[in-house]
Structure 1
Amino acid sequence: MGFFLETVIGGLMSGMLYALVALGFVLIFKASGVFNFAQGAMVLIAALAMARLSGWIDAWLGGASPVLANLLAFALAALFMWLVAVLVERLVLRHLVNQEATTLLMATIGISYFLDGIGQILFGSSVYSIDVGMPKDPVIIMDAMFDGGVMVNLEDLTAAVVAAVLVAVLAFFFQYTTVGRALRAVADDHQAAQSVGIPLNRIWVVVWTVAGLVALVTGIVWGSKFGVQFTLSTAALRALPVVILGGLTSVPGAIVGGLIIGVGEKLSEVYLGPYVGGGIEIWFAYVLSLVFLLFRPQGLFGEKIIDRV
């Protein structure tokens, strides 16, 4: 029983990491109706900015205050992601107002490759580390209940808490703020939103800035755990099944989908893998998302679209 709980907890923690990436997809789609294929590149360039800026500032301070260096680096990296949002709106999105969804999707693919390239130019292509003080050592819990106890990774637990806080803040932002309601109106109909005085260009800057901040937090968590390297941009591919499962328009759905996939991957690999030669963890999420596309394409919490003619 202790091993089973340890596997489940490990799956929950992995699922929260997936959910952090999925939040960026959901945020932009919910607010603008655009599937942002560049979210992985945004996580990468945000993590690169944080890693390099913290290193430069720490060297400038002579290593006297790593905490101050991290705080300044986070503020500058957030400013950098706001600049990215402004450039994306000015150079791309404002020229594609009321275009088809396919056109906007192709634009985000172009943005993805551009961010990959500019990240390498500005910050280099080496593997960097991020140290923001997240605990690395695992702890043993429930040792009185189970022989040997249950091992929990504190770093993953910290990531889970961060993801939960982000979901709460974003849910409040969309439901109870004027800007959040304006974002939902823009997602429903660009022309109608403009006709009632909602400034589309300003709204898109806001949503891409918020998505950039989510990408920054995600990049810090992933970079602290795995290091910052260019393969980080492919983390978005791991989050696609999470988005399909939870629903493209649901912020809580990103978390629930991540948890389901994280636990499902671990349990299937541990208990079914030995019978089929292993490797289930690699394709489990994609098979599960395919099943949902066949029987519930809007996901668990997504909005079902009904067209009336």
Structure 2
Amino acid sequence: MGFFLETLIGGLMTGVLYALVALGFVLIYKASSVFNFAQGIMVLFAALAMARFSEWIPGWLGLDNKIVVNVLAFAGAAVLMFVLAWLVERLALRHLVNQPEATLLMVTIGIGFFLEGFGQSVFGSNVYNIDIGMPKDPIFLLQGVFEGGLLVDSQELAAAVIAALLVTALVLFFQKTKTGRALRAVADDHQAAQSVGIPLSRMWVIVWFVAGLAALVAGMVWGSKLGVQFSISTLALRALPVVILGGLTSVPGAIVAGLIVGAGEKLSEVYIGPFVGGGIEVWFAYVLALVVLLVRPQGLFGEKIIDRV
């Protein structure tokens, strides 16, 4: 039982990070009906920016306080993601209103290739470190319940706590703030939102910036664990089944689906993998998403589309 719980907890903590990346897809799709294929590159670009800023800022400002440097590097990367959001809206989205979704998808693919090349030119293509002080020693929980306790990776636990805090902040933002309610109105009906005075272009900038912040936090966490390298951009491919499973239009669905996929990957690799030759963790999420699509094409929490003719 203890080993099962250790595996389950590890999977859930990984699932929180998957949910964080999936939220970027969902937020942008809800507000602008754009499937942002560049979300994975945004994670990489934001992580590269923070890693390089944390190296450059001590030389620029003469600082040696790691906490202050990290805060400034995060703020600088966040500003960069806001500029990116503004440029995407100004140069692309406002000129493609009411265009086919395939056209918008191709635009996001182009944005992804541009960010990948631009990131290498400006920040370099080496492996960089982000040190935010995450603990590295394992910890033991519930030692009074299980003999020896449950072994938990403290780094994964810290990463899951950071991701959970951002997810909670996003939920509160959408539920409690005026801007969040306006974004929900835009997601429900663009034309109705415009008719009551909600500026569509400003909402698009905000939602791309929020998705950029989610990408920045995901990149910061993954970069501190594995180092900032271009393989981080493939993280979006791991989050795609989460988006499909939860539904393209559901923020809670992304969170729940992330937990399901994270836990399912770990448990299936441990308990089913030995019978099928291993490697099940790589494709488990895609098979699960395919099965769900056969039964419920809009995902577990997605809105059912009804076309009236």
Moved more, 160-169 or 35-44: 160-169
Confirm or deny that 1:180 pairs with 2:180.
yes
CA change 1:100–1:187 in 2 (3 A) is farther
Structure 1: gaps (5+ residues): none
Find the counterpart in structure 2 of residue 252 from structure 1: 252
Give the whole-Å Cα distance in 2 for the aligned partners of 1:162 and 1:27. 19
| Closer/same/farther in 2, CA of residues 150 and 186 from structure 1, 3 Å limit | same
Per the alignment, residue 239 of structure 1 pairs with: 239
Q: Which amino acid in 1 is paired with 2:2?
A: G
| Distance (whole Å) between structure 2 residues aligned to residue 25 and residue 274 of structure 1 | 34
Distance 1:141 1:195 in 2: 54
Q: Distance in 1 between matches of 2:285 and 2:66?
A: 38
> Where does residue 223 of structure 1 map in the other structure?
223
Q: Deviations over 1:186-223 (max 9, x none)?
A: 33443443343322221111111111111111110111
Is residue 85–residue 208 contact of structure 1 (8 Å, CA) maintained in 2? yes
Alignment RMSD (CA, Å): 1.6
- Return the alpha-carbon distance in structure 2 between the equivalents of residues 185 and 97 of structure 1: 17
- Which range moved further: 184-193 or 293-302? 184-193
1:65 and 1:175 map into 2 onto residues whose CA distance is 36
1:154 corresponds to 2:154: yes
Number of equivalent positions: 309
Which stretches in structure 2 are left out of the alignment for 5+ residues? none
The Cα shift of 1:153 comes to: 1.3
The alpha-carbon distance between structure 1 residues 175 and 308, as it changes in their structure 2 partners (threshold 3 A), is farther
Contact 1:170 1:251 in 2 (8 A): no
Task: Give, in whole Å, the separation in 2 of the partners of 1:61 and 1:194.
Answer: 45
Match of 2:161, SS state, is helix
Percent same amino acid among aligned pairs? 73
The CA distance in 2 between the partners of 1:198 and 1:303, in whole Å, is: 23
Rounded to whole Å, the distance in 2 between the matches of 1:35 and 1:287 is: 21
1: CA distance, partners of 2:107 / 2:55: 33
The range that moved more, 67-76 or 147-156, is 147-156
Instruction: Give the Cα–Cα distance (whole angstroms) in 2 for the partners of residues 64 and 89 of structure 1.
Output: 37
Q: Which residue of 2 aligns with 1:284?
A: 284
Distance of 1:289 and 1:104 partners within structure 2: 24
> Is the Cα contact below 8 Å between 2:20 and 2:167 reproduced in 1?
no
Kept after mapping to 2: 8 A contact 1:98/1:191: no
Q: 1:146, 1:237 → 2: CA distance?
A: 37
Aligned to 2:303: 303
Q: For residue 246 of structure 1, what is the amino acid of its counterpart?
A: G
Paired residue type of 1:109: I
Contact 2:163 2:217 in 1 (8 A): no
Kindly indicate whether the alpha-carbon contact (under 8 Å) linking 1:33 and 1:188 is maintained by their aligned counterparts in 2.
Answer: no
Once residues 167 and 293 of structure 1 are traced to their aligned partners in structure 2, the CA distance between those partners, rounded to angstroms, is 25
Q: Hey, what's the Cα distance between the residues in 1 that align with 2:17 and 2:66?
A: 25
Contact 1:167–1:252 under 8 Å retained in 2: no
1:102-113 equivalences under 5 Å are 102-113=102-113
In the alignment, what sits opposite 1:170? 170
**2:31 maps to 1:37:** no
1:220-271 Cα distance to aligned partner (Å, 9 max, x none): 0111111101111110000001111112122222121111111111111111
Q: Which region of structure 1 is more displaced relative to structure 2, 149-158 or 59-68?
A: 59-68
Counterpart of 1:234, as a letter, is T
